[in-house]
Chains A and B, each alone.
Chain A
Amino acid sequence: MLFLDHIWLIPLLPAFGATMMFFFGRKLQKQAVDAVCVGVVVLAFLLACGAVWQYTAYAHDNPGKPYEKILYTWLGTDTGHFNLVKKDGSPASFQADAGFLLDPLSSIWLLFVTGVGMLIHIYSVGYMAHEGGYYRFFGYLNLFMFSMLTLILGNNYAMLFVGWEGVGLCSYLLIGFYFHRKSASDAANKAFIVNRIGDAGFLLGMFTIAWYFGSFRFTEITALARDPQLFRIGDPVITAACLLLFVGACGKSAQLPLYVWLPDAMEGPTPVSALIHAATMVTAGVYMVARSNALFVLAPTAMKTVAIVGALTAIFAASIGLVQNDIKRVLAYSTVSQLGYMFLALGVGAFAAGVFHVFTHAFFKALLFLGAGSVIHAMSGEQDMRNMGDLHRRIPITHWTMFIATCAIAGIPAGFFSKDEILWQAWSSERGAYWYLWLIGYITALMTAFYMFRLMFLTFHGQPRMSHEVERHIHESPKSMTGPLVVLAFFCLFAGFLGWPHSLGGSNRFERFLEPVFAREAHVFAAEGQSGQLAAGVKEEEHTSGTEYFLMFLSVGAGIVGWGMAWRAYRHADKGYVEPIAQKTPSVYGVLYNKYYVDEGYDYAFTGRRNVGKLRLGAMGLGEASSWFDSRVIDGTVNGAGWITRLTATLSMWWDKWIIDGAGVNGPAIFARMLSYPMRLLQWGLVQWYALVMVVGLVGFVAYYTWH
C-alpha cells in the first residue's frame, strides 16, 4: 500500500513547491518555476490516482471502512490527561491529529481537485507568461493546492479547518494578486472577512461537536451519530451544530447571505477564478456538509434550512446573472447559483446527487472560466461582452469547447444527469412536500440556460463590436491554454455518464461508489418513515418511472427553451443591441443590474463604509463610538482622576500655605508683631528719640506741676 501509506505526501508536495517559491522564487527562471510548481502538482495528481486505486483494493477487503493515516497529534496531547468535559459531564481527551482520511467522498474530491488543478496549472503557464510576479502566482497556487488537499484529506474537523482557512488565505492572496488596483485589494479583503464570518460559525459548530461527542474525528463522530441508541432525530444540540457548520458553508461556498464576496473575487487572474472560485474551493462547503451527513440527517431543521437557502441562492444569483455584462461576472453568479443547486440536493437528503453535481460542475465551470480567460486573452484584456461579438471563427477551439460546457451547464447532454438528479430528488423528497423547491430549481434551470447562451451569443456570435485596435490582435491562445480546454471538454462530455440513472437503464456507478459514505442515511430515513423522511432507494420504487421521465423531459425542455430565447434576443447583436428585460421592465432590469443593491445595503448596515444620513452604523460605526468612548469616558476618567489628584494637591498646598501656615502659624506671629508695634515705638533704639521723649516728658511733667 505504498500510495495509501504516503497519502500525506499529496498535500505536502505542493507545500514544498510553495516553500521553494517563498525562499528562492525571485531568483528562479520561469522555466524553473514551471518545473517545480507544475511538477509537484502533476506528481500529486499521479499519487492521488495511485492512492485512490489502492483504496479501491483496500475497500474491497474492508468494506465500508475509510482508510486513515495519522502522522502525529497536532492539537492537545495524546497522554489522556488533557481533557475537556463533555455535555454529559464525562471527560474526553482533547486531541486533534494531523491525520488523513481517504474514503469514496474524499477520493472524488481528491481526483478532480488534483486533476483540474493540474490542468489549470498548465493553462496558467501560458496565461501568466507576460505577467509580473510569475513565481508569486505559482507559489500561491501551490499553497492553495496544499490547503485544498488538506481540507479534503483531513480526518477531523480541526484538520479540515486548517485547509478551510488556508484556502481562504490563498483566495485572499490571489484575488489581491494585482495589488496595485484598489478594487483588487478591496475584493481580497472582502473575501477574507466574509469568509471569516462563516469560519466563526464553523468554529462554534466544531466546538459544539467536540462538546457533545468528545472528539473531532469524522470516523468517531459518524459512528456515534449513527448509533440509534444514542441520539434521536431532531436533537437540539446536533441541530445547532449543523446550523453553525452550515454558516461556515455559506461563507466558503457563497450562499445567501454571505455570497457577496464571490462576484468580487473575479478581480483575480482568470485561472484563479477557474480553480478556486469555481471548481474547487467554493465546493468546500458542500464537501463539509456531505462529510457531516451523519449529523445532518439527525437534524431535519438544519436539512430544511440547507435546502431552502440553497434553492433561494440558486434563483437569486441566476436572476442577477441574467443581465450582467462582464463575462467573468456572469460566470461568477452562475457559480453561486450552481452551488445553490448543490445545497438544495444536500438539503433534501440527496447527498450523492449533490456530490455528483459538484463533480460535473468542476469540469464545466473550470472549462467555462478557462474559456473566458482565453477570450479575454484574445481580446487584449477586455471583459465586457458588449465589446465582443463574432469571435467564433477567430478562436474556434475556445468557441467549441465553451459551447460544450454551456450545453453541460444548461443541462443538455452531460450536466443533465447531475442537474436532473437534483431536480428529481427535490420533487420526490418527503412525498413531494418540497415541490416548491423543485419549482424554484426548475425556473433556475431555465434562467441558467438563458444567461449562458446569452453569454455565448454575445461573445461568439452577432456583429463584432470591439475596436479595430483590439480586433487586429485577436488570436487563438497558445497550446498550453487550449490543451487543458480540450481535455476539460472531453470530461464535460463524458463525466456525466458516470451517474447514468437507473431509470434510463444505467447503473449509476457514481452513487454506488459513494454508498459507503451515505448508505446509512437511507437506513435512518427508512426508520424514520412515518415522519415523512424517505430513503432514496425506497423512493424510486414507490414512484412510477413515468413521473421521472416526464421531469427529465421538462428539464431538457428548459435548457432548449433558454437556448431559444437567447438565440432570438442576441443572435444578431450589434453595437446598439438592447436587452429584452431592459426593454420590457426597466425597473426590474435596474434592480437586477445593481444586484438587488445588496452590497450597498451591507455597506450601510454592517461595514459602515456608507453613512445613513450623518450616522455611521456597522462595524466602523461601532469602532468610532468605542474610540470616542475610550478617549473621552475611560481615559477621561483616568485623566480626571489624575486631575482631581492634582487639584486636591493644589488645594491642600493652598490650605497649607494660607490657612495652616498662614492663619495658624504665621497668623499669631503677625498678630504679636502688630501688638508689639506701639511698644516698639517706645524702644526704637534712636538715642535722639529717647532724648526727645525725655525732654517732652520732662516738659510735660514740669508743666503739670506748674499748673496744679
Chain B
Amino acid sequence: MQSHILSIILFTPLAGAFLLLFVPKENKDAIRWIANIFAAAGLLVSIPLVPWFWQQRFEPGFKFVEGAVNNWIPSIGAGYVLGIDGISFLLIMLTTLLGWVSILSSWEAIQNRVKEYYIWFLILQTGMLGVFMALDFFLFFVFWEAMLVPMYLLIGIWGGPRKLYAAIKFFLYTLLGSVLMLLAVLFLYFYNYRQTGTYTFSIEALYKTAPHIFHDPAYGATFAILLFLAFFIAFAIKVPMFPFHTWLPDAHVEAPTAGSVILAGVLLKMGTYGFVRFALPFFPDVAMHPKVRGWMIALSIIGIIYGALVSLMQKDMKKLVAYSSVSHLGFCTLGIFALTPLGLSGSVLQQINHGISTGALFLIVGILYERRHTREIAEYGGISNVMPVYATITMIMFLSSMGLPLLNGFVGEFTILQGTFVENWRWAAWAVPGVILAAAYLLWLYQRVFFGTVTNPKNERLHDLTPREVLTFAPLIIMALWIGIYPKPFFQILEQPVNQIVQTVRPGYPGAGGAVNASVPVSSAGTSAQLASENAKGNK
C-alpha cells in the first residue's frame, strides 16, 4: 500500500473520469454524484499519506518513491518515477482538498455539458497531482502540458462572455513558456549524456550534472544564465510574476468559479514549485548570481506592491481577487529568492495559504455571482443585512488573506519577511507596504459590498448560504485556523527539504540546518528536550 500510494492518489480522479465516459449525458445527477464521490475519494486516499509522511518528515531525500529510472521509455531515458518531499507533500494535500472543494462547489453552477465538465475537471486533477509527484522531467512535462488542455477547455467552454479570448491567451502564454523550458531541458539532457554517458530525464540525475554548466569552460556562466532564464520565463508566466501576469485577470474573470479556485489555488503554485524543484537546484550558481537574484527580488517586490495597487482600483470583484493573487504570489517568489530556510518554508506555506484563502475568496465571489450574475462591486452594498452567515465567512477569509495573526496568512508572510529580512533588510522593508495595501483593498471591498443598507432592490431577496455551500467553506476555514494557531507541524514538514535546498544552493550557509539550541520551554522542559533530541537524530 505505502509503496503505491502515490499512484493511487494520482489515478483516482482519472478513474472517475473514465467511469463517467460510460454514464449517459442526460443523467446529470448521476454524473454529479459520481464526480463528487471520486473527488472525495481523491481526498480520502491522500489522507493516509499524512501519518505515513509524518513519521519520516525529518529524513532526507524523496519519500514514497515508486517506479525506476528510465523504466517507461528506456530508449530515450524516460521513466515513470514518482516521489515526494515535504514541499510536494503539502502541495499534493492542497490539491486533493481544493479538488474536492471545487467539484463540490460546481453542483449548481454548471448546468450545460455537465458530463464533459466533470470529465475534464477530473483529468485536470490528475494532471496537477502528477506535476507535483513526477521525479522524471519527461513525465513532469507530460503532466505539465496535459493539464493545460482541460483548463483551456474549462475556461473556453464554461467561461464568461470573453471566454475565448481568455482561454487562448492563457493557453498560448503558458505554452510559450513551456517551449522555452523544453529547449533548456533538452540541453540539460544532452549535457547529462556528455557527462555521464547515459541518456536520462531523471531529475535526481540532472541535479548532479546541471549545476556544472555554470563552471564548464565550454559553456560558461552566461550560457547557464540563459538556460535559467528559459526556466524562469516558463515558471514566471505560471506564477505569474510581474510583468507576465496579465493572462491571470482575464483567465480568472472568465473562468467558472471552480476553475478559478483551482487556477489560483493550485495551478499558480506550479510556477513557484518549479522554481523550488528545478530552477534552484539545477542552477544554484545562477540563483546566487547577484544580478539575477536582484532581478528576481525586484520583480517580486514590484509584484507585491503593484498587484496590491491595481487591486485597489478594480471595479470587478473577481479581477480584484485576481490581482491580489499577483501580490500574494510576489511574497512567495520573494521568499524563494531570499534563499534562506525561513524564506523558502514561508514561501511554501504561503503557497498553501494562498490556495486556501484565495480559493475561498473565489468561492465567495462565485456565490454572489450565482445569485445575481454580476461581479460589479457597485451593484452590491449592505449584503450583511440579507446574508449574515455569508458575511461572517467572508470576513474570516478576508482576514486570513490580509494576514491577521492566528489565521494562516500571517504565518506565511511573517516567515517570508523574517527570512528575507535576515538576508537583506531593504528587501523586507520594500515588501512590507504590501501588507498595508492588502488591508486597504480588502476592507474597502468589504465595506462596499457588505456594509451600509441594501440600496439595490435586486439584493433584497438574496438567500443566505445553503448547507452545501457552508460545507465547501468548512474545510478551508478549519485549515486557515489550524495553520494560524498551530503551524508547527507544517514547519517541521518543511524543515528538511528547505534546509536541503539552501545547502545545495549556497553550501556553507550557516543557517541551513545545523543544530543550535532551541530555547526550551521552561515549564515543560522534559518533554520538549526529549522531542528536540529525537528530532536531532533524524535531521542530519
The answer to whether A211 touches B425, judged by C-beta atoms less than 8 angstroms apart, is: yes
The answer to whether A70 touches B523, judged by C-beta atoms less than 8 angstroms apart, is: yes
Among the 9-residue stretches B179-187, B362-370, B531-539, the one with 4 or more Cβ atoms under 8 Å from chain A is B531-539
In the complex, chain A residues whose CB is within 8 Å of the CB of B452: 179-180, 182, 185
- Distance in angstroms between the alpha carbons of A70 and B529 in the assembled complex: 13
- The yes or no answer to B447 lying at the interface (CB within 8 A) is yes
In the complex, chain A residues whose CB is within 8 Å of the CB of B306: 626, 630
Segment 68-117 of A: residues with Cβ below 8 Å from B: 68-70, 72-87, 89-95, 97, 99
- Tell me how far the C-beta of B492 lies from the nearest C-beta in chain A, rounded to whole angstroms: 5
The answer to whether B523 touches A91, judged by C-beta atoms less than 8 angstroms apart, is: no
- Identify A81's interface contact among B313, B447, B451, B514, CB under 8 A: B514
- Identify B422's interface contact among A76, A86, A97, A203, CB under 8 A: A86
- The yes or no answer to A411 lying at the interface (CB within 8 A) is no
Among the 9-residue stretches A436-444, A616-624, A700-708, the one with 4 or more Cβ atoms under 8 Å from chain B is A616-624
- The yes or no answer to A197 lying at the interface (CB within 8 A) is yes
- Tell me how far the C-beta of A24 lies from the nearest C-beta in chain B, rounded to whole angstroms: 13
In the complex, chain A residues whose CB is within 8 Å of the CB of B514: 81, 83, 91
- The yes or no answer to A233 lying at the interface (CB within 8 A) is no
Query: What's the interface size class on A, roughly?
Result: 35 or more
Among the 9-residue stretches B13-21, B138-146, B274-282, B404-412, the one with 4 or more Cβ atoms under 8 Å from chain A is B404-412
- Closest chain A residue to B514 by CB distance? A91
A81-B536, A196-B435 in contact; A70/B521 too (CB < 8 A)? yes
The SS class assigned to the B binding surface is helix
In the complex, chain A residues whose CB is within 8 Å of the CB of B485: 74
The answer to whether A83 touches B516, judged by C-beta atoms less than 8 angstroms apart, is: yes
A79-B495, A81-B535, A630-B310 in contact; A169/B399 too (CB < 8 A)? yes
- Identify B404's interface contact among A5, A165, A197, A637, CB under 8 A: A165
- The yes or no answer to B507 lying at the interface (CB within 8 A) is no
- Closest chain A residue to B523 by CB distance? A69
The answer to whether B524 touches A80, judged by C-beta atoms less than 8 angstroms apart, is: no
- The yes or no answer to B296 lying at the interface (CB within 8 A) is no
Residues 342-382 of A, flagged 1 when their CB comes within 8 A of B and 0 if not, give: 00000000000000000000000000000000000000000
- Distance in angstroms between the alpha carbons of A186 and B444 in the assembled complex: 9
- Distance in angstroms between the alpha carbons of A90 and B509 in the assembled complex: 10
- Distance in angstroms between the alpha carbons of A92 and B404 in the assembled complex: 26
- The yes or no answer to A682 lying at the interface (CB within 8 A) is no
The answer to whether A196 touches B439, judged by C-beta atoms less than 8 angstroms apart, is: yes
- Tell me how far the C-beta of B360 lies from the nearest C-beta in chain A, rounded to whole angstroms: 17
- Distance in angstroms between the alpha carbons of A182 and B243 in the assembled complex: 37
Segment 479-511 of B: residues with Cβ below 8 Å from A: 485-488, 491-492, 495, 499, 509-511
- Tell me how far the C-beta of B292 lies from the nearest C-beta in chain A, rounded to whole angstroms: 21
- The yes or no answer to A338 lying at the interface (CB within 8 A) is no
- The yes or no answer to B440 lying at the interface (CB within 8 A) is yes
The SS class assigned to the A binding surface is helix
Residues 398-428 of B, flagged 1 when their CB comes within 8 A of A and 0 if not, give: 0100001110001100110111011001001
- The yes or no answer to A498 lying at the interface (CB within 8 A) is no
- The yes or no answer to A166 lying at the interface (CB within 8 A) is yes
In the complex, chain B residues whose CB is within 8 Å of the CB of A97: 519, 521
- Closest chain A residue to B510 by CB distance? A91
Segment 172-226 of A: residues with Cβ below 8 Å from B: 172, 176, 179-180, 182, 185-186, 188-189, 192-193, 196-197, 199-200, 203-204, 207-208, 210-211, 215, 217, 220
- Tell me how far the C-beta of B230 lies from the nearest C-beta in chain A, rounded to whole angstroms: 18
The answer to whether A179 touches B486, judged by C-beta atoms less than 8 angstroms apart, is: no
- Closest chain B residue to A181 by CB distance? B452
The answer to whether A200 touches B435, judged by C-beta atoms less than 8 angstroms apart, is: yes
A81-B499, A94-B418, A165-B404 in contact; A197/B342 too (CB < 8 A)? no
- Distance in angstroms between the alpha carbons of A620 and B535 in the assembled complex: 50
The answer to whether B510 touches A207, judged by C-beta atoms less than 8 angstroms apart, is: no
- Distance in angstroms between the alpha carbons of A217 and B432 in the assembled complex: 22
- Identify B439's interface contact among A5, A186, A192, CB under 8 A: A192
In the complex, chain B residues whose CB is within 8 Å of the CB of A90: 510
Q: Could you say which of B309, B485, B515, B517 has the most chain A C-beta atoms within 10 Å of its C-beta?
A: B309
The answer to whether A623 touches B447, judged by C-beta atoms less than 8 angstroms apart, is: no
Q: Could you say which of A91, A208, A211, A634 has the most chain B C-beta atoms within 10 Å of its C-beta?
A: A91
The answer to whether A166 touches B414, judged by C-beta atoms less than 8 angstroms apart, is: no
- Tell me how far the C-beta of B495 lies from the nearest C-beta in chain A, rounded to whole angstroms: 5
The answer to whether B313 touches A624, judged by C-beta atoms less than 8 angstroms apart, is: yes
Segment 30-58 of A: residues with Cβ below 8 Å from B: none
The answer to whether A619 touches B309, judged by C-beta atoms less than 8 angstroms apart, is: yes
- Distance in angstroms between the alpha carbons of A188 and B520 in the assembled complex: 41
The answer to whether A72 touches B447, judged by C-beta atoms less than 8 angstroms apart, is: no
- Distance in angstroms between the alpha carbons of A574 and B515 in the assembled complex: 76
The answer to whether B516 touches A638, judged by C-beta atoms less than 8 angstroms apart, is: no
In the complex, chain B residues whose CB is within 8 Å of the CB of A638: 169, 173, 246-247
- Closest chain B residue to A217 by CB distance? B519
The answer to whether A180 touches B453, judged by C-beta atoms less than 8 angstroms apart, is: yes
In the complex, chain A residues whose CB is within 8 Å of the CB of B435: 196, 199-200, 203
The answer to whether A79 touches B418, judged by C-beta atoms less than 8 angstroms apart, is: no
A193-B436, A200-B433, A623-B313 in contact; A80/B517 too (CB < 8 A)? yes
- Identify B418's interface contact among A210, A634, A635, CB under 8 A: A210
In the complex, chain A residues whose CB is within 8 Å of the CB of B309: 619, 622-623, 626-627
A90-B510, A204-B428 in contact; A81/B521 too (CB < 8 A)? no
- Identify A196's interface contact among B312, B436, B510, CB under 8 A: B436
- Closest chain B residue to A93 by CB distance? B518
The answer to whether A83 touches B341, judged by C-beta atoms less than 8 angstroms apart, is: yes
The answer to whether A82 touches B491, judged by C-beta atoms less than 8 angstroms apart, is: yes
- Distance in angstroms between the alpha carbons of A92 and B341 in the assembled complex: 12
- The yes or no answer to A279 lying at the interface (CB within 8 A) is no
- Tell me how far the C-beta of A616 lies from the nearest C-beta in chain B, rounded to whole angstroms: 10
The answer to whether A77 touches B495, judged by C-beta atoms less than 8 angstroms apart, is: yes
The answer to whether B341 touches A75, judged by C-beta atoms less than 8 angstroms apart, is: no
In the complex, chain B residues whose CB is within 8 Å of the CB of A204: 421, 425, 428-429, 432
- Tell me how far the C-beta of A91 lies from the nearest C-beta in chain B, rounded to whole angstroms: 5
- The yes or no answer to B36 lying at the interface (CB within 8 A) is no
The answer to whether A623 touches B495, judged by C-beta atoms less than 8 angstroms apart, is: no
Residues 591-630 of A, flagged 1 when their CB comes within 8 A of B and 0 if not, give: 0000000000000000000000000000110111011001
In the complex, chain A residues whose CB is within 8 Å of the CB of B410: 165
- Identify B405's interface contact among A68, A69, A165, CB under 8 A: A165
- Tell me how far the C-beta of A176 lies from the nearest C-beta in chain B, rounded to whole angstroms: 7
- Distance in angstroms between the alpha carbons of A89 and B440 in the assembled complex: 37
- Tell me how far the C-beta of A177 lies from the nearest C-beta in chain B, rounded to whole angstroms: 11
- The yes or no answer to A569 lying at the interface (CB within 8 A) is no
In the complex, chain A residues whose CB is within 8 Å of the CB of B414: 75, 158, 203
- The yes or no answer to B522 lying at the interface (CB within 8 A) is yes
In the complex, chain B residues whose CB is within 8 Å of the CB of A622: 309
- The yes or no answer to A316 lying at the interface (CB within 8 A) is no
- The yes or no answer to A128 lying at the interface (CB within 8 A) is no
The answer to whether A630 touches B488, judged by C-beta atoms less than 8 angstroms apart, is: no
The answer to whether A215 touches B519, judged by C-beta atoms less than 8 angstroms apart, is: yes
In the complex, chain A residues whose CB is within 8 Å of the CB of B499: 81-82
The answer to whether B421 touches A77, judged by C-beta atoms less than 8 angstroms apart, is: no
- The yes or no answer to B513 lying at the interface (CB within 8 A) is yes
In the complex, chain B residues whose CB is within 8 Å of the CB of A5: 523
- Distance in angstroms between the alpha carbons of A74 and B487 in the assembled complex: 6
Binding site for B on A (CB under 8 A): 5, 22, 68-70, 72-87, 89-95, 97, 99, 158, 161-162, 165-166, 169, 172, 176, 179-180, 182, 185-186, 188-189, 192-193, 196-197, 199-200, 203-204, 207-208, 210-211, 215, 217, 220, 619-620, 622-624, 626-627, 630, 634-635, 637-638, 642
The 6 A-B pairs with the shortest beta carbon distances in the complex, nearest first, are A70-B521, A79-B535, A623-B313, A623-B312, A207-B421, A85-B511
Of the A-B pairs whose beta carbons lie under 8 Å apart in the complex, a sample of 18, sorted by A's number, is A75-B414, A77-B492, A78-B520, A79-B58, A80-B516, A80-B517, A80-B535, A94-B341, A95-B519, A165-B410, A169-B404, A180-B382, A182-B452, A185-B451, A210-B421, A622-B309, A626-B310, A638-B246
Q: A75-B411, A80-B515 provided; 15 other pairs, C-beta below 8 A? A: A73-B521, A80-B536, A82-B499, A83-B513, A84-B340, A84-B418, A85-B422, A85-B510, A93-B517, A94-B341, A165-B410, A169-B404, A179-B452, A630-B306, A638-B247
